[in-house]
Amino acid sequence: MTLLSNPKIWSARLLAHLDKTFVYGAAFTNRNYEGEIKDAGTSVRILQVGDVSISDYTGTLNDPEGLNDAALELVIDQKKYFNFVVDDVEAQQSIIRLVDEGSKRAAQAMSDVRDLYVAGFHSAVDAANLVGTDATPVVVGFAGGQTKPYDAFLDLTQKLDEANIPTVDRRVVLPPWFIRALKAQFGDRGSGLGDKIALDGMAGQLDGVTIYQSNNVPNVGGEKYKIMMGKDYITFADQIVKTETYRPERKFGTGVKGLHVYGAKNLQPKGFAVGTFNKGQISK
């Protein structure tokens, strides 16, 4: 049995590559409900219990209040596929190498699509947790009238503090220019910004916040970057539900195709802060 004839082996190799490049997934998602996902169209109802009131005790009790058990629904509504062919002539040379390279290319392209999908959840953040707006973005830089990068960073942490979000394990995804500006501001002082970016997007820590770098931070023409800070409150689920090999009708080769389904839900809109930032003068 060759590698191409075993869909289970292929799926495992593809998912391994996906995990290395899903920056927004590493920063903001959990997989708590993934085991319940089977195929596109699947939905999972997630129960949430509301707040409990506290009253003064005067010798008697009021009637007990009912708990608010409103449910959120995680819907697997995203469907993506890959489909490529390995020619028989090329396969005779090194089919394992071609399969591995094909899986990397498919994984990178598919991972980029789902990364952009999760990045779009900036629009689901509570309005009280916004810094700047599309009409009045905060210009980050060192020129007169601009906000220094560390001050913009602190504006986001303050929003989380005011929303009572735990300080442990906070994360933020920044574009490369913002990280460069932070390093320029700190100069030779230790800032905790490391260099694991090439592996998983992680750039280090600052004030206990884990920093990730991504070119997928949403923006409009290089302006109005939607920078998210928070915790892993977006529940995400995905499956590669089908992988098949086949013989293309008009080619002498082996085709490989796969179907990838996924979906996500922001369970805590108050658990994130979003800044709308423009790039100013980032060199001192």
What's the pLDDT score for residue 199?
42
Q: Does residue 93 form part of some domain?
A: yes
Q: How many domains does the chain have?
A: 2
Query: Which CATH number does the domain housing residue 178 bear?
Result: 3.30.2320
To 10 degrees, the CA torsion angle through 248, 251, 253, 258?
A: -30
What is the percentage of the chain residues whose pLDDT exceeds 90? 45
Region 19-28 average pLDDT: 83
Tens digits of per-residue pLDDT, 77-105? 899 998 888 787 665 556 667 767 777 78
For residues 239 and 179, membership in a common domain is answered with no
Bridge partners for 259 per DSSP: 81, 242
Q: Tell me the mean pLDDT in the region 24-34.
A: 88
Mean pLDDT of the chain: 83
For residues 90 and 174, membership in a common domain is answered with no
Mean pLDDT within 264-271: 92
Residue 36 included in any domain? yes
34, 154: one domain: no
Whether residues 103 and 210 share a domain: the answer is no
161 and 248 part of one domain: no
| Mean pLDDT value across residues 110-138 | 95
Instruction: Check whether residue 275 and residue 151 sit in a common domain.
Output: yes
Q: Computed over its alpha carbons, how large is the radius of gyration of the chain?
A: 23
Average pLDDT of span 207-226: 94
Domain that holds residue 172: 125-233+270-279
The CATH number linked to 262 is: 3.30.2400
* 112 plus 14 within the same structural domain: yes
Same domain, 226 and 241: no
User: Is residue 244 located within the same domain as residue 226?
Assistant: no
Amino acid, single-letter form, for residue 231: K
b/e sequence 236-269, b meaning 16+ C-beta within 10 Å:
bbbbbbebebeeeeeeebbbbebbbbbbbbbbbb
> Are 184 and 134 members of one domain?
yes
- Residue 57 belongs to a domain: no
60 within a domain of the structure (yes/no)? no
In a domain? residue 59? no
Sign of the dihedral through C-alpha 71, 234, 220, 141: positive
pLDDT of residue 29: 93
- Judge whether 227 lies within some domain: yes
Least confident of 27-36, 212-221, 269-278: 27-36
Q: Is residue 61 part of a domain?
A: no
94 shares its domain with 196: no
Residues 144 and 214 in one domain: yes
Residue at 37 is within a domain: yes
